[in-house]
Amino acid sequence: MAYGDWLLLKREDNIATITLNHPETLNLVNWQLLEEMDEIQNEIEKDESTRAIIINANGDHFSAGIDLHILEKVNSQFVMKNLNWLQRVYGRWQEWNIPVIAAIHGLCYGSAMELILGCDIRIAAEDSRFAIPEVRFALSPDMGGTTRLTKLVGVGQAKRLIMGCEEINAQEAYNIGLVEIVVKREELMDRSLKLAKRMVNLPPAAIAFAKKGINLAGESSVTAGLLFEQAQSTFCCGTQDQNESIRAFFEKRKPEFKGC
């Protein structure tokens, strides 16, 4: 299927910006949006020029979460058939070597919360509001919410937000570690692009290994993490990009990285 209805894709300077594009519905997450996101992910995977991704939204709000009309049609058979794919749509960002930044404003509820939890870095406007209220609808988060939120903010905060269905603002989200940066609304995309461009201009292999190493550290033992550091260092030391970065530093010029 083609995308461009519920999601927009823009490429510029090796950065892909994916924009939720139905503000009249508060950018509700529906089946078409998820299918379009999967299609965009397939396209980005084939495009080696993409070095960073920003996910943002048009309108007053990032997203008010899942379209509840979907839940009226869901049963156990549907879940068994589709949930693995649904989880991967939100988790696929972590399979890639490039950074994925969520630029959030206004409401970010439920399924939208699970979407940003699958990203690498979350930048929130001061007007952002966060909630993950699935329990209110006799569900528990099933697209990474209980897993990724717990790893990000800890057991107690995850229980408060999920089991209590509490809403928090951008400052509290920053205080508990849900988002990494808070900015004024008018500065949101500028700050997101600034960080994305900074990462794009760094050696691709080093970015990839850093992301993989950090992910591994969050999921495994210290011993496993240190072994990964040994492996990535063995690969990176002496590469063309490493030598180029050192030469450019001493020659006071911008480095030209080849990805090798």
Active-site residue flag, 134: yes
Residue 43 a catalytic site member: no
Dist. CA 130–CA 57, nearest whole Å:
15
- Tokens standing for 84? 């693995």
Name the catalytic one among 134, 166, 187, 251: 134
Q: Which of 36, 39, 114, 126 is catalytic?
A: 114
Active site residues: 114, 134
